[in-house]
Chains A and B, each alone.
Chain A
Amino acid sequence: MNTLVDFITHTKGLEYLIAIAFLISFIIFWQMLHRQGVRFWVTILPIVALVLVFGILGLRINSQRPSEGVAVGESPFLTTSVLAEWYGPASFDHSSHPDHQGDCGLCHHYSQGRIPSCSECHGKPFDAAELKMPGLTHAYHLRCIGCHMENQAGPTNCVECHTQAEIPPLSAVHPLTGVTNCLSCHGENGIPGVTRVPADHLQATNGVCQLCHKPRVEAKDFAGLPHTLAGREGCLMCHGAGIAGASKVLENHTGRTNETCTLCHKPL
């Protein structure tokens, strides 16, 4: 037992057992005094049985959760992946810090003679075995933001140093009016040939797409269909190969089936 709470939990377990034993022996004692016969036992035994069953069930549920110790430090490396997707790298310009020229050791600390670059020492992202050495990202941030905060000069927020990653705008292929279900085409099981949502977006719902992805250009309308559709379900029979002067489907529509054409293209 390593902790006091372990000891207390253990003691409490024992006490529950003692309490149950106490309850049972009290019933036996009561019976000994009053000698009430079979009817008494018929009432009392199911109650005792219930208490025991629930107690044992509770213990079982609680002991199901394994708590095995793990070897710490098996996988000490990690990357700040989410942020790296959102922000481009910052470039440090020595000439924009004229006040500190000649005082290299201010940033290139713990070194004499040759000036090492930051990444020579702060190479790894993060190493739990080497807690004293910040990773490269953190070293930069600590050095830059720390100094800027200390002197109340220079940028301290993200976008003043980093370019924010550009979110792909909605392309100009189709108008957005009336389009509410993005995922029916762009989702995982969408139409072939259509841009799919990236793998890390798979939990996104239709409601959130346009919060980030804005239309860039005024979208043009789809080509209308010059003929009626009565009796013409197989669009690709004519338009697939361009038979008898029918316009051929676009190159980037390769792989699409008859069912999807009229989702966008309506008769004029």
Chain B
Amino acid sequence: MKTGNPRHAFHRRGFLKRAAAALGSSFFSPHSGSVLAQDFPGREDRLGMLVDLTRCIGCRRCEAACNQTSSLPAPEIPFGDKSVFEEKRRTNAKTYTVVNRYPNPQRVGMPVYVKTQCMHCDEPACVSACLVGALKKTPEGPVIYNADVCIGCRYCIISCPFYIPAYEYSNAFEPKVQKCFMCHDTRILKGEVPACATECPVEALTFGKRRDLLVLARSRIMENPDRYVDHIYGEREVGGTSWLYISGVPFEQLGFPGNLGTTPYPMLTREFLSFVPLVLVVWPALLGGFYLMTKRRMQEDRAESGEPKKPEQTLEA
């Protein structure tokens, strides 16, 4: 390539300018123009699930349906047994969803049942924490997992604000990360509804496009202001989630993490991550340049003073 070509020179200058702008903007003002501050609206048609906690009757059919459709081992306590509500349970590698019972402070004797599973965040922390891209936010909405590339670092488990992904510690040779995948491969890709929503006898679970569900949730709250608290959990929490909850009892009293904020978790590492390439390119080049400069100057000095050239090993040591 001829360096004197003005077109090339122009292009390179343009590139350098853009790089400098990017560097500057990431340094000083993260929300001004440039690719680094781009806005990400999410896919328009992404799917979600609305959980109406005022409807749930605690029958645990969703748990049974999930267990069946995911081919999980049968639980120690059968799904019809209500004694499981005595203690708060969490999802684990063999249970992708659990229903817990919470006392209703407004109406004694009418407990609130809360279904817990992966929230399928719009900007999942687990996906951004994964080193190898084993977790993926699909265009349809669910966050899915590819066990073939997983290296078992369990960063996803640490990063999750809802404490959902679980690790198969009992599997010594091929442990996998397990969580609700919203029946992505088995049902959603075939145009079917996830198993839990299919089985729910009272439509406490409603499956649909996320934007439709938000409208539905808001209209339910508007039509029954006494029945619901004016909050759609998951609309803004950690930047929005695919699973949305409406309830008659404040979410803090139902075991929902209440202090998550509305910033997507990947946003916290975005600035740092955008910087790494620049550092990896600029820093070695700079130090290498210094080295070559110093070396050349020393050689010139030696040539001037007429000393014989030394072997390089001593110079480096």
Residues in A lying within 8 Å of B, measured CB to CB: 1-9, 11-15, 18-19, 22, 25-26, 29, 33-35, 58, 61-62, 64-65, 67-75, 78, 80, 82-83, 126, 128, 131-132, 134-135, 137-138, 141-142, 145-146, 149, 152, 156, 158
A-B contact pairs, 26 of them (CB 8 A): A3-B123, A3-B137, A4-B267, A5-B137, A8-B128, A8-B270, A9-B127, A9-B133, A11-B274, A11-B277, A12-B133, A15-B273, A15-B280, A22-B280, A25-B284, A34-B313, A62-B132, A67-B144, A68-B189, A69-B139, A71-B191, A72-B209, A128-B208, A132-B216, A134-B203, A158-B59
Centre residue among A13, A35, A126 by max chain B CB count within 10 A: A126
- If over half of A's interface residues share one DSSP class (helix, strand or loop), that class is named, otherwise mixed; here it is helix
Which residues from chain A contact B190 at a C-beta distance below 8 Å? 75
| Bound Cα distance from A5 to B130, whole angstroms | 10
CB nearest neighbor in B for A143: B202
Residue from the list B110, B127, B146, B274 in contact with A5, Cβ < 8 A: B127
A261 to B255, CA, bound (A): 63
Q: Across the interface, name the chain B residue whose C-beta is closest to A135.
A: B203
Pair A131/B213 contact, Cβ less than 8 Å: yes
B42 and A142 within 8 A (CB)? no
State whether the Cβ of B249 lies closer than 8 Å to any Cβ in chain A.
no
**6 additional contacts, CB 8 Å, given A67-B144, A70-B189?**
A2-B139, A8-B270, A18-B277, A34-B316, A82-B199, A131-B216
Q: How far is the CB of A5 from chain B (nearest CB, A)?
A: 5
With CB as the reference atom, state the residue of chain A lying closest to B59.
A158
A141-B56 Cα distance, complex, nearest whole Å: 11
B235 is an interface residue with CB less than 8 A from chain A: no
Residues of chain B within 8 A (CB-CB) of A138 are: 200-203
Please name the 6 residue pairs, one residue from A and one from B, whose CB atoms are nearest each other, closest first.
Answer: A138-B203, A74-B191, A75-B191, A5-B127, A141-B202, A69-B139
Q: How far is the CB of B303 from chain A (nearest CB, A)?
A: 20
B281 and A2: CB pair below 8 A? Answer: no
Cβ of A1 to closest chain B Cβ, rounded Å: 7
Q: Which residue of B127, B131, B201 has the most chain A CB atoms within 10 A of its CB atom?
A: B201
Q: Which chain B residues (260-301) contact chain A, with CB distance < 8 Å?
A: 264, 266-267, 269-270, 273-274, 276-277, 280-281, 284, 288
How long is the Cα–Cα vector from A90 to B89 in the complex, in angstroms?
33
Is B47 part of the contact surface with A, judged by Cβ < 8 Å?
A: yes
> A131 and B212 in contact (CB under 8 A), knowing A18-B280, A158-B59?
yes
B148 touching A61, Cβ below 8 Å: yes
Complex formed: what's the CA distance from A17 to B140 in Å? Answer: 29
Bound-state CA distance A94–B122 (Å) is 47
Chain A residues with Cβ below 8 Å from B134 are 62
Complex: how many Å from CA A3 to CA B125?
Answer: 12
Complex Cα distance, B202 from A145, in Å, reads: 9
Quote the shortest CB–CB distance from B135 to chain A (angstroms).
9
Which chain B residue has the least Cβ–Cβ distance from A203? Answer: B71
Given contacts A7-B38, A62-B149, contact A156 B199 (CB under 8 A): no
Are the C-beta atoms of B133 and A142 separated by less than 8 Å?
A: no
Complex Cα gap A83–B198 (Å): 10
In the assembled complex, the Cα of A71 lies from the Cα of B190 at a distance in Å of 10
Closest residue to A5 on the B side, CB-wise? B127
Chain A, residue nearest B40 (CB): A4
Contacts of B165 in A (CB 8 A): none
Which positions 121-166 of chain B face chain A at CB distance < 8 Å?
122-124, 127-128, 131-134, 136-140, 144, 146, 148-149
Contact code string B58-72 (vs A, CB < 8 Å = 1, else 0): 010100010000000
Contact B132 A70 (CB under 8 A): no
Q: Which residues of B sit under 8 angstroms from A142, Cβ to Cβ?
A: 55, 202-203
Nearest Cβ on chain A to B286's Cβ, whole angstroms: 13
Is there an interface contact between B127 and A131, defined as CB atoms closer than 8 Å?
A: no
Docked pose: A126 CA to B131 CA in angstroms:
40
Contact B140 A72 (CB under 8 A): yes
In the complex, are the beta carbons of A67 and B216 less than 8 A apart? no
CB distance from A130 to the nearest CB of B (A): 10
Residues from chain B with Cβ under 8 Å of A11 in the complex: 273-274, 277
* A70 and B40 within 8 A (CB): no
User: Contact partner of B40 among A7, A74, A137, CB < 8 A?
Assistant: A7
Q: 1/0 per residue B27-61: CB within 8 Å of A?
A: 00000000000101111010100000001010101
Q: Is B193 an interface residue (CB 8 A)?
A: yes
Interface: B253 (CB within 8 A): no
The one of B55, B109, B201 in contact with A152, judged by C-beta atoms closer than 8 angstroms, is B109
- Check A5–B133 contact: CB distance below 8 A: no
Tell yes or no: B76 within 8 A of A by CB: no
| B140 lies within 8 A of A69 (CB) | yes
Residues of B within 8 A of A19 (CB): 280
Q: What's the nearest-Cβ distance from chain A to residue B260, in Å?
A: 16
Task: Name the A residues within 8 Å of B59 (CB-CB).
Answer: 158
Partner of B201, one of A13, A33, A141: A141
